[in-house]
Structure 1
């Protein structure tokens, strides 16, 4: 009798586990994969009356305001979808998603603002849902789906696992009332730093703009072609970037605080520039300067500039977590953001100054005119000039190696 009881308990346990597995699979089908078989109208209907959580960097009040007002209000009016913005960076939300995956826990995040090495890691660890971009009408209608900026993220194929959000490109900003000639390469930058000791710096590499600045210097010295097929091996990377590391060590004594400290964020560097503490700042949002001049933070003699060999440009994306509780709502939000009418609102420097991802050749005359009417403001570089000086990002797995070498060689150099 005792053996029969044990067998019965074992049977119940096995049945329960199998049932739980089926439930999870069925739920996944209901909440995700089955969406790919639904019409767009059915997806919109499923999203009606729901709330979508949007997780991403919250360090810019203009961007936050744009999401909380322009995007959120139109979503509510047009689709009866509420947008909840949650300020959280990838280093925080990626472990959260991994933990949910390991525990088979309920999902809590609907959309993530993501790109670069974070996308590479998330996709590799299978915590993103996809492919899904083919389900978005505006992606198919207004985006050049064959563009390298859309097909690849930091050198890795996107394969429909994230939707483009906006385009960024590194620009430098200088005070022309003091700087007679804005530097056009790394050599002239060092000459400027020597001439105005302590008045030039860049953010610490914990800030993504600081990391991008270092990669721009590397590109200017050794060229971006050297990284196309470069193995993600520390010694191999060190050998290629050694001339740039030597340059940064030589530059260090002429920087703010002799390069012993660096601004923690790009916002801090902007404030230092606004206060006249330094003569240069930089930004990945190329029209950032116009908004700063317009609100009086930067002087009217501030001017954006590029290196002759170009500056790094990339696309930032929106991803869909594997366990997003409201996938239908997330797709509606992404599709809405991809419309030309929404993309143009963030193109305005007084709102954000983010480059659009829509392809001008795919827009009708009325939509093209919306972009043409936007006043880019003072101090900016025209979009066509930016695109002529745009160089690609290096592969995501190379970035942390470069940051590590910078810390060891440059930051650790006495």
Structure 2
């Protein structure tokens, strides 16, 4: 277990506060007015930062809530901040009011009682959420139970330049291509979330029976199941960009390598990212996307509220607005973000559906049918161990 996980395990669970009551929405709106919400969220994308700024403008206009984007490079930094406040006895008016979170960070905070809730399924716009077709009630196999609210859907795709290569069917085909075209592929350096996502996608694709990945990793299952991954990475690494001696630090840095003609292939967790980047002039219009034959990992992006937030009402207002048809349609627009929606179109009004139907998702965005099978995220324990082992094996070369 890493240091953060060990420290969180030592914290006694805290009973979630019931006030403000998310089911009394009128009172929530009254209390939220005038509050400032410090949203700790990844700050590595200009498009995402601009979207969050727009959300801030809208919630200020409609609800009198001030939204401050605290830009993170690693979500674990926010988790550590809440943990530190808990250990110091700062149980009210903490520094963080909302976190863009999922996976192991959510599981750790939920287990340690560091989250406010349950609140998500009491928000008004939850009524529009697709709870049948989308994974919005589990997070990396962990039941959400209302302690985080979904706001975007993601699925792994690979962006490639059609001027230089064709789609690849699986990770072994990717390895063969990389060996034949050395230096033309890379991935962000773990613990960047996109870098760890690449490792997870490789593990899922190389594992014959993925049901074991839905359970917590044990020493025995971890060693057996990950052995093919390490053998595969041993072959892949010397054929990466700069012989695997250096890696781009973020997803946007990957895009720049394609734009500069240094690589031909990159991973993304947003099916619309390539179309957005083409529309913004960040990528050439010859770039397209593909998924693997067995399908690719998909999940939801969530927001959660720390137990000691002093602006819980304001944070719930922001979380609710993020699920609104207005915000969801804007996020799905490839000229803005190109994110998948968490909403069920059948639950919307005719006018609301018309907005979504009118979106041009872009030349590089696959249709839902083309995206194929959505593979489940492994249990968080797999990724924590794999990220640590990757650092030991490859991170210090």
Provide TM-score, normalisation by structure 2. Answer: 0.91
Distance in 2 between residues matched to 1:240 and 1:172, nearest whole Å: 24
Structure 2 match to 1:383: 368
Listed as ranges, the matches of 1:141-220 within 5 Å are 141-146=127-132, 149-179=135-165, 181-220=166-205
Choose the corresponding residue for 1:225, options 187, 193, 210.
210
Choose the corresponding residue for 1:405, options 370, 389, 394.
389
Choose the corresponding residue for 2:273, options 268, 277, 288.
288
Q: Alpha-carbon deviations, 1:153-193, whole Å to 9, x = none? A: 001011110010111111101111111x2211122212211
Instruction: Give the CA RMSD over aligned residues.
Output: 2.1
Question: Is the counterpart of residue 251 in structure 1 residue 217 in structure 2?
Answer: no
Structure 2 match to 1:347: 332
Q: Secondary structure at the match of 2:366?
A: coil
Q: Alpha-carbon deviations, 1:6-38, whole Å to 9, x = none? A: xxxxxxxxxxxxxxxxxxxxxx99x94132276
Q: 1:234, 1:401 within 8 Å by CA — same for their partners in 2?
A: no
Q: 1:153, 1:315 within 8 Å by CA — same for their partners in 2?
A: yes
Q: 2:37, 2:67 within 8 Å by CA — same for their partners in 1?
A: yes
Aligned in 2, Cα 1:392/1:229: closer, same or farther, shift over 3 Å? closer
Distance in 2 between residues matched to 1:352 and 1:296, nearest whole Å: 14
Aligned in 2, Cα 1:374/1:244: closer, same or farther, shift over 3 Å? same
Distance in 2 between residues matched to 1:368 and 1:224, nearest whole Å: 39
Aligned in 2, Cα 1:47/1:230: closer, same or farther, shift over 3 Å? closer
Q: 1:237, 1:402 within 8 Å by CA — same for their partners in 2?
A: no
Structure 2 match to 1:115: 102
Question: Is the counterpart of residue 85 in structure 1 residue 69 in structure 2?
Answer: yes
Structure 1 residues 205-214 or 223-232, which shifts more?
A: 223-232
Question: Is the counterpart of residue 241 in structure 1 residue 234 in structure 2?
Answer: no
Q: How many residues align?
A: 381
Give 1:296 deviation, angstroms. 2.1
Aligned in 2, Cα 1:177/1:146: closer, same or farther, shift over 3 Å? closer
Q: Alpha-carbon deviations, 1:42-93, whole Å to 9, x = none? A: 2111112222221111111111111112x12221221122211111332211
Distance in 1 between residues matched to 2:367 and 2:89, nearest whole Å: 49
Structure 1 match to 2:34: 49
Distance in 2 between residues matched to 1:212 and 1:108, nearest whole Å: 29
Question: Is the counterpart of residue 128 in structure 1 residue 115 in structure 2?
Answer: yes
Provide TM-score, normalisation by structure 1. Answer: 0.87
Distance in 2 between residues matched to 1:73 and 1:352, nearest whole Å: 17
More helix, by proportion: 1
Distance in 1 between residues matched to 2:307 and 2:289, nearest whole Å: 40
Q: Alpha-carbon deviations, 1:89-136, whole Å to 9, x = none? A: 322111111111122224222111110000011111111011112321
Q: 1:318, 1:334 within 8 Å by CA — same for their partners in 2?
A: yes
Which stretches in structure 2 are left out of the alignment for 5+ residues? Answer: 1-13
Q: Alpha-carbon deviations, 1:284-343, whole Å to 9, x = none? A: 111010121122221111110111111110111010110110111111111111111111
Task: Look at both structures and tell me which one has the larger radius of gyration over its CA atoms.
Answer: 1
Q: 1:226, 1:240 within 8 Å by CA — same for their partners in 2?
A: no
